[in-house]
């Protein structure tokens, strides 16, 4: 039986240092070299996925930005990104601002990089840390000023991201879901539950849609997914087997077929090696 393994990154494959351990790298690379189908599905962009997976061989495209695109690691290019209509970004941005949340607007450029526009409003400490960790990456650049502010068209826009107090994020998410025609994901920071994140994409974007596409394109008979947080639940629903790590949220464990060890113990990679038929 041909199995496709898909794992979330943060809190799942990544350890407490937010890195892929050497042991996990070895296991996944070995599985891949023996013909195994292994990849990741993450809210992250290629700009941070590539450094994290450096030294880890995978042959299957990565699911990035919560399913808004696939990322061909070998060709270093986006595959069929789902973009906003140019006239739809402005009204969504206005809804963000009305709830006191300043959006980061991600746009795909022709050279397969991301330009992230934030505007000139002061950054919170959490936003400063978010930007600091991502500045200087080969596949991403930040722009903090733009004529016309958040109004006008944003060609290639793929994501609006907001970071704020969890109460504001939840209220914003409710308002945007009420508009329809959008894919909205809101969740608390895994390290600080008082901080919330919201990701807004064009309609139809989800990890579930992306992993099912990979299952079809790889010809896999079975889909096994691993996760820890609420934004993993859509792919749990379509998987043949959904596996939660021990540190997962209670809601995720309840929806899983199995619970394995924590992300700090290479549990995902070890489980892949154990259940693989290679």
Q: Regarding beta strands 182-188 and 157-165, do their DSSP bridges make them parallel or antiparallel, or are they unpaired?
A: unpaired
Rounded Cα gap, residues 211 and 227, in angstroms: 13
Work out the burial of residue 14: count CB atoms within 10 Å of its CB; fewer than 13 is exposed, 13-18 middle, 19 or more buried. Answer: buried
Any idea which residue has 């023996």 for tokens?
Answer: 34
Cα–chain center distance at 178: 23
Rounded Cα gap, residues 62 and 74, in angstroms: 11
This prediction has a pTM of 0.90
pLDDT in tens, the chain (278 residues): 899 999 999 999 999 999 999 999 999 999 999 999 999 999 999 999 999 999 999 999 999 999 999 999 999 999 999 999 878 899 999 999 999 999 999 999 989 999 999 988 889 999 999 999 888 899 999 998 776 667 667 889 999 999 999 999 999 999 999 998 999 989 888 789 999 999 999 999 999 999 999 999 999 999 999 999 988 999 999 999 999 999 999 999 999 999 999 999 999 999 999 999 88
């Amino acid at each position: 039986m041909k199995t496709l393994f898909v794992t979330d990154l943060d809190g799942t494959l990544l350890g407490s240092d937010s890195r892929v351990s050497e042991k996990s790298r070895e296991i996944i690379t070995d599985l891949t070299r023996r013909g195994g189908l292994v990849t990741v599905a993450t809210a992250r962009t290629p700009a941070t996925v590539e450094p994290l997976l450096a030294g880890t061989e995978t042959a299957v495209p990565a699911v990035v930005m919560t399913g808004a695109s696939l990322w061909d690691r070998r060709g270093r290019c986006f595959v069929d990104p789902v973009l906003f209509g140019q006239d739809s970004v402005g009204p969504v941005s206005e809804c963000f601002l009305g709830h006191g949340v300043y959006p980061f607007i991600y746009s795909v450029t022709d050279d397969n990089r991301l330009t992230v526009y934030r505007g000139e409003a002061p950054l919170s400490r959490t936003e400063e840390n978010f930007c600091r960790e991502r500045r200087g990456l080969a596949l991403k650049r930040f722009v903090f000023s733009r004529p016309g502010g958040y109004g006008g068209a944003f060609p290639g826009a793929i994501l609006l991201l907001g970071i704020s107090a969890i109460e504001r994020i939840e209220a914003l998410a409710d308002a945007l879901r009420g508009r329809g025609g959008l894919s909205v994901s809101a969740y608390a920071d895994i390290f600080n539950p008082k901080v919330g994140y919201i990701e807004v994409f064009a309609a139809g974007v989800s990890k579930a849609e992306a992993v099912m596409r990979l299952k079809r394109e790889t010809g896999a008979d079975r889909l096994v997914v691993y996760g820890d947080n609420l934004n993993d639940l859509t792919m749990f629903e379509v998987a043949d087997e959904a596996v939660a790590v021990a540190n997962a949220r209670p809601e995720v464990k309840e929806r899983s077929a199995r619970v394995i060890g924590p992300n700090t113990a290479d549990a995902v990679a070890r489980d892949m090696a154990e259940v693989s038929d290679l």
